[in-house]
Every structure is written in C-alpha cells, then in structure tokens.
Structure 1
Amino acid sequence: MKRFYLTFILFILANTVAFAHELTITDMFGRVVQTPTETKRVSVIGPGALRLLVYAGAQDLLVSRELFEEKIDKSIRPYTYALPDNYMELPVVSDGGPGKMPNIEKLMLAKPDVIFATGFTATQMDMITEKTHIPVVGVSYGVIGHADLKEVKNSIRLVGYITHKQARAQNIANNMAMMRKDLLARTQGEMPKLVYMASIAYKGARGFNSTERNHPSCSLLNLNNIADDKSSSNMRSTHIILQMETILKKQPEYIFYDITGFNILKNDYPKTYKLLSLLNAVKEGNVYSVMPYNWYNSNIENIFLTAYFMGKVLYPDKFSDVDIAHKADDIYNIFLDIHPYKKMVEKKNIYRRVIFEKSGFRFK
C-alpha cells in the first residue's frame, strides 16, 4: 500500500511538472490545445497565417515557409516587407493555398514548437497533430474571403499570447478599435453614399463584376456597397459576382477598384469599355484605385487605410486633416512596425483616380 501511495504521488508530481511547461488554450475553432510555455520555433500554414504571425511581431520564430508565398505578388501584401532576411532560406513544408495539407515529414523535420493554421477544418488540424505530435492552433479571419475584424483581433491576441508578444498584439487590437471609432465618428450623421467595391480578389484576381457584401471598409464609413442587398449562392461567403446589368441599374456614385484586378481589366478592356462608359461614376471621373483587400486572405491594415482614403474622397471636409501617406505610415507601423508604403506606391498605381477612355484607361 505504501508503494502504491508513493507511486501515485510521483505520478502526480511528474504530471504537475509536465503541465507547468504547457499552456492550455482554446483556439479560434473551439479546440483545446496544449502548447509549450516557451514557444521558440513556429511554423505557419494556410492563407494568411503568416500575416497574423507578422502582426504579432513573432516572425523571427519562423522555422519553415510555404511555397505559395513566393508565387504571388509581394508588392501588394504589406506584411511581406517585414519578413526576416533569411525567410527564403527556410525549408518549404507545404505548397500552401486554401485547405492544402502540409508535407508531414518536412513539417516534422522543421521541428516547430507550435503550428499556426488558417483555412483548415478542426478535423484536418487534429490529423496534423496526430501525425506530427506538434500542437496545431487554429486562427481565423472569419468566413471565407471576408475579414471579420473581431475574429482577426482575437486571432492576433491568441498568437501574441502563445509567442509572448501580448503587449504588441494588444496594441494592435486597441488601435483597431480606436480607428474604427474615429472613422464612424467622422461620418456620423452623413447620408450614406452608394458605392461599388469592384474587382475584389477571391482565391486569386477577379474582374470588375467581383465584389463583396458588407465590405469592411464600407462598414467603417457607414457606406452602402451596391452588393449589400444581394444574396450569394454560398451563404457562408460574402463574395458575389454581379451581373453588369445590375451594376448599371444601381448606378453607384463612386467606384473603388481593387488594384489586383487591373491586369484583367487591361485584357478585357476592348470588350468591356462600352458598358463601363455607361456608368455615371466613369463619366464623372469618380473611379479610384485602392489597395488590395484580399490577397492570400485579407490585408487588415489595408482595410483601414482604404477606409481613410475613401473618407477623403467622399467626405473631404470631414477628412481634411488626413494625409494618406502619413496615415499609411502610422497604420503600417501599428501592424508591421515598418513603413513600406513609399515602396508600394512606386510599384503600383494605388489611391489614384482612374480615367476611362476609348483607347484605354489611365491613372491620374
């Protein structure tokens, strides 16, 4: 009996020591996950997981990368400017892309303490943990292709907590709340203007008809996107393709064109110009290029920056104190701790008026 009690006490002590070296968290999918108290090595998989790690300021913990990250345009994803110098030298553990399972063997060889994942089901994440014996923490932007800012804030906080970057993560969450309050206050009492958010990327670049219901930049300004009263065939997604007849019937006062769609516009221009020229916003010169909203999930910093730009266009008196270049530096500093805006506008025609002519379109 004494031997039993001694064995039992040793078992309790051993497990107490084990639990002392683990954090028990609930991830964004409601999964209870145990992670090391000292996370020093991190892998990220899925659309936008790397971006969330950069927001939290923990990118120096990376021990692997996704192949997909090097295949898509870096100049319009601000977080890529904040990646560590050795990023491209890290071993590839996944092709990347929505729902694409990583290479289990390569993931194990990278030896991360924790894997942060987006775009996977709870079952898939459990399967990865079962095969690798590495905790997988699910983080999220919200429903497919649509940024839920509350979900994003909680995901950043979770990444910050696990990587011991709580102060930075909370600072981002606080600033998101303050910017939202500022934007809503500036437009309070204004009659909502009818706008169209054109060419919204969704699993890649899309054409003029691609848009999104409840676009977050519109929500921050109390604006109505002409797609807001339209239903989608996939009710889990807010992405929608509008018929040109619908856009012409609605006649938005202003059009904000996502920069990711301009190559498609260029290729389709001979076929689409005649219809585009029937839009009042095109006739009156009220079409503007804006930063990418979705590009391997949502660029959260761009959501806020685009809202300030739209505010300046639509309500110049209410936003007269806002200089977009300075505001970009402020916002990118909050999210990324760097200032890539100047480099980005040198490469892309961002936040410019778009002039449509029979011979082609140009930026002013």
Structure 2
Amino acid sequence: MKNKKWSILLLIFIFLVFSVITGCTKQTANETKEATEVVTDLNDRKVEVPQNVERIVCIGPGALRLITYMNSTDLVVGVEEGEHKDDWGGAYNLAHPEFKDLPIIGPNHGGDAELIAAQNPDVIFLYGDSNKAKNLQQKTGVPVVMLDYTDLGPNRNQGLYKSWRLIGKVLDKEAKAEELIAYTEELIADLKKRTEDIPKKEKPKVYAGAISYHGGHGIISTKVPFPPFTFLNASYVADELGYEEVQSLMINQEKILDWDPEIIFIDESNLNLVKQDLRKNQEYKSITAIEKGNIYGFLPYASYHRNPATILANTYYMGKVLYPEEFSDIEPDKKANTIFKKFVGKAVYEELAQTYGGFKPIKLKN
C-alpha cells in the first residue's frame, strides 16, 4: 500500500515538473516570437524581422553601399563575388577592404540561396526584382527586406532616403539615417546657394558624358537632368530635353555638335571609350570645349549602381571649375575626403584618383 502511495506521489511530482518545463518552454518561445517586428519594405511588402539583428547580407546593385553608409559593415557576414575584385572601384569598398575577406554568397545581382543560408544571416537586404525577394525568402527561410535606389534627383526622398530610413529601422540606426539625410541636404543647399545669383549670361554651356549605365559608354551617354548641374544651377545643354526625373540617355551625335558645349566633364571610368569616339568621329573635335581644351574628368558616377557620396564630391569640383570665385574657399580633394569620411568612414579620394585620374583637366585633342 505504501509503495502504491509513493508511486502516485511520484507520478504527481513528475507531472508537475513536466508542466513547469512545458510552461517555461512555451514562455521562452513566446518571448522569442515577441522579439520581432514587422516592417514595410520599399516594395510594399510586410516583412517580419528580428528586433536585434546581428548578421546580414546584402544582395544586388548598391545594397552593400547603403549598408556601409549606415555604418553597419560589422554586421555583414558574406558578400557577392564582385566585392572580391581589385577593380570594383567604389568608395565604400575601398574604405572597407575587409569585404574581400568575407565568404562569397554568390554572383552579383542575386547571390546564391544555399551560400547565403550557409552564413546564417538574420536579415537579407535586397535591391532588385521583387520576385527574387519572394523566392530568396522561401529558399533561405530568412526575411528579405527590399530597398530602393533612386538618383540624387528630385525623387531622392522617395527612394534613396526611404532606404536609409528603412535600414535604420531594421538595424537600430535611425539616428544615423537622419544624420546622413540632413548632411546630404546641407551639401545640396550649400551648392545651390553659392550659385543661385549668377546671371545666366555668365554661365558657360556645359555637358557631362561617358556616364555608365548597364555598362560603360562613350561621350554620348549622359543623364538628364544631371544632379550635379542641377545643384550648381548650371547651364546644362541637355536640359532642353525637358525631363523632370533623372534619365539615362544616349544622345544623338548631331545633337551634341549642335549644342556645342563650352565645357565638358567626362566620367573617367569610360575615358578610353571617349578617346575611341574622337578617333572614329573627327567632327567631335570641332566642339568648342574640345577645341579649346576645356575638358575635365570626374570620378565614376556609378559602379554597381550610383555612388551618391562620389556624386556630391564631384559636384564641388565641378563648381570650382565652372565658378572659381564662388568656390574659392573649396579645395576639391579635401572636400571629397570630408564627404567620404561622412559616408564610408574613411578618406579615399587619393585611392580613387590613383585608379581613375581624379579631379583634373583631360587632354582629348591631339
């Protein structure tokens, strides 16, 4: 009889212990589930992400650049294969050579689901096709947050700045996002203020060519409107085309001859293509800017998507060329390094200049 009582008591004790353990497990699970939040990404997708993100990967053009701007490179656990190349050429990866030491998570423009999952990220940031986001999330089981990436034109509030704020929310870097937005707007306001009172008749006709878009191009490749010229209130010959949002365009050769710009800026990443243009099309040499040698180089506008920090640095140099008096206090290389430190954490103008040529006149005509 005593044994039976002890058996019953033992069963009750086991039941109570099991109930406590089960309750604790459920509580732990609930607590884990509560440590997430739902964000709306820039493809209007609802994505549940951890509140405490410690491991991330970035997929698609410019995604890693934006994470770098948010001072979050320490969270990156893998990179696309392009980041291991020596000629990648962006300020963000020059400032962070440690990217080359991280595991490769697949090719550019999409990565590889298995290689991504192997790095066990908490969140994947993606710029690209929305279908790719859905598929990648299904294959990896990792939340995918889609970013957007507009130019520094009129729509920067709708794309670029929203991406910075979204990254800030997911990575608890909201203050950094607002700081960077304010700094960018401060630079743009400064550029505009310096040049807003210059009479139109005193502004030389300008053009910017050889800007990369889905690859390199020669002199007929440009953007309209061209943000640096907009910020400088410059007399940009292509503005007559009437585009309000930034467009990548291939300009008709006869049109450039007709515009006859007095000063031309060339994207140095495609300088060799411009030189080929001149060898094939001798008529370009009659353009006033080329005839008089008023050709100036600028650092790559884009390398695996746009380089916002570089665009701003370029603009101060262009201002110095176009309006020396209004920019007499500016040393373009030093200003560039100040901007790069703010965006990517390191002064990299000299490294970019060593690769591409930097802020200097270019000799095109023999």
With the shorter chain as reference, the TM-score category is 0.7 to 0.9
- Deviation, structure 1 residue 57: 0.8
Displacement of 1:333 in angstroms is: 1.0
Amino acid at match of 2:91: P
Map of 1:319 onto structure 2: 327
Q: Tell me the distance in 2 between the aligned counterparts of 1:310 and 1:352.
A: 10
Q: Segments of 4+ in structure 1 off by > 4 A?
A: 12-16, 145-148
Give CA-to-partner distance per residue, 1:124-162, whole Å, 9 cap, x none: 21221122111111112127x989532222212221222
Could you tell me how far apart the structure 1 residues matched to 2:308 and 2:245 are?
20
> C-alpha deviations, 1:297-340, integer Å up to 9, x for none?
01101111111111111111111111112201210111011111
Alignment of 1:1-364 (within 5 A): 17-71=31-85, 73-74=87-88, 76-83=89-96, 85=98, 87-97=99-109, 101-118=110-127, 120-142=128-150, 148-150=155-157, 151-190=159-198, 191=200, 193-230=204-241, 238-272=247-281, 274-358=282-366
Distance 1:105 1:147, change over 3 A: farther
Superimposed CA distance per residue, residues 241-299 of structure 1 (whole angstroms, 9 cap, x where no aligned partner) = 11211000011121110011112234444223x22211001122221000111111011
Question: In the alignment, residue 108 of structure 2 is paired with which amino acid?
Answer: G
Deviation at 1:238, TM superposition (A): 1.0
C-alpha distance 269-193 of structure 1, shift in aligned 2 (>3 A) = closer
With over 3 angstroms needed to count, the CA separation of the structure-2 counterparts of 1:256 and 1:21, relative to structure 1, is same
Identity %: 29
Aligned partners of 1:356 and 1:277: how far apart in 2?
9
How far off is 1:163 after superposition?
1.8
Unaligned runs of 5+ in 2: 1-22
Flag the 1:104–1:84 CA change in 2: closer, same or farther, 3 A: same
Which residue identity does 1:149 align to in structure 2?
R
Cα distance in 1 between the residues matched to 2:83 and 2:214: 13
Opposite residue 69 of structure 1, the aligned amino acid is: E
Which structure shows the higher helix fraction? 2
Q: Deviations over 1:218-244 (max 9, x none)?
A: 221123433333389xx9971111121
Could you say if the C-alpha distance between residues 237 and 169 of structure 1 is closer, same or farther in structure 2, counting changes exceeding 3 Å?
A: closer
Aligned to 2:18: none
Provide the alpha-carbon RMSD of the alignment. Answer: 2.7
Determine if contact 2:208/2:266 at 8 Å carries over to the other structure: yes
Q: In 2, distance between residues paired with 1:149 and 1:253? A: 29
Amino acid of the structure 1 residue aligned with 2:263: Y
Corresponding letter in the other structure for 2:208:
M
- Unaligned runs of 5+ residues in structure 1 are 1-8, 359-364
Higher Rg: 2
Paired residues, number: 340
Question: How many Å separate the matches in 2 of 1:77 and 1:147?
Answer: 24
Decide whether the 8 Å contact of 1:213 with 1:225 is kept in 2.
no
TM-score normalised per structure 1: 0.86
Distance 1:142 1:173, change over 3 A: same
Cα distance in structure 2, aligned partners of 1:67 and 1:225: 38
Q: Name the SS for the 2:364 alignment partner.
A: strand
* Cα displacement (A) at 1:182: 0.6
Q: Measure the CA separation in 1 of the matches of 2:177 and 2:245.
A: 28
**TM (normalized to structure 2)?**
0.85
Which residue identity lines up with residue 161 of structure 1 in the other structure? K
Aligned mates of 1:171, 1:83 — CA distance in 2: 21
2:241 is paired with a residue whose SS is: coil
